[in-house]
Structure 1
Amino acid sequence: MKPVRFDEAETYEPEEGWCRVAMAGSDQFSFEWFEKPPGHSSPMHDHENEQVCLCLEGELTVATEDDKVTLQPNDSVLLESNETHRVENTGNERAVGLDVFAPGRSFDFWTDREE
């Protein structure tokens, strides 16, 4: 067993109010907790990992090139490998979510990015 303490986990906070926390994971899967302020959107992007985005608090809209869905607390959506998408907080309050990636990915996806 390998616990990950939230307050001790690796974080990525490129903008005020937008934070990601690397939680438990392996080569097969990884978990990233995140929060977004109202109006914040990731850019359209893709990655080789399949992704499940689970909304924990607030409202998250997940958009692909062809579709979009708004998630309320406890709703989730599956994004296929290499499916171009973005995740936006379309609500008026902070949104919190959990992303699960398979296969797992290193948190370097965020920390080694070139802006």
Structure 2
Amino acid sequence: MEPVSFDQAETYEPEEGWRRVAMAGSDAFSFEWFEKPPGHSSPMHDHENEQVCLVTEGELTVYTEDDEVTLGPYDSTWLEPWERHRVENTGDERAVGVDVFAPGRSFDFWLDRE
């Protein structure tokens, strides 16, 4: 067992107000807590990992090239590997959620982008 204390976990802000925290994971999967301020959107992107995005607070809209879905607390969506997408906080309050990636991805995915 390898417990991870939230207060001591590795954390970073790819952009101001968009915080990500690396939680328990392995080469098979990675688990990241995140928060996004109102109006914030990640850029359209893709990655080799399948992804589950679970909202715990607020509202997020997930856009793909073919569809969009708005998620509220405890809603989730699954994204296929290489499915282009972006995630936007379309609500009026901070949005909080959890991303799970399989296989696990590097925690610095957003920091290594051009």
When normalised by structure 1's length, the TM-score is 0.95
The alpha carbon displacement at 1:112 in A equals: 2.9
Unpaired runs of 5+ in structure 2?
Answer: none
Structure 1 segments (4+ residues) deviating >4 Å: none
Q: Among all aligned residue pairs of Structure 1 and Structure 2, give the percentage whose two residues are the same amino acid.
A: 83
Aligned residue-pair number? 114
Shift of 1:45: 0.0
Q: Is the 8 A contact 1:31 1:101 kept in 2?
A: yes
Q: Any residues of structure 2 matched to 1:22-101 within 5 Å, and which?
A: 22-101=22-101
Distance 1:9 1:111 in 2: 17
The separation in 1 between residues aligned to 2:108 and 2:15, in whole angstroms, is 17
Q: CA deviation at 1:20?
A: 0.4
**Letter of the 2:8 counterpart:** E
Distance 1:40 1:71 in 2: 15
CA contact (8 A) 1:53 1:76 kept: yes
Alignment of 1:9 onto 2:9: yes
**Which residue identity is paired with 1:109?**
F
Aligned to 2:18: 18
Which residue matches 1:108? 108
* SS of the residue 1:7 aligns to: helix
Does the 8 Å CA contact 1:12/1:110 hold for their aligned counterparts? Answer: no
Deviation at 1:33, TM superposition (A): 0.3
C-alpha distance in 2, partners of 1:51/1:90? 20
Q: Indicate the RMSD between aligned Cα atoms, in angstroms.
A: 0.9
What SS is found at the alignment partner of 2:106? coil
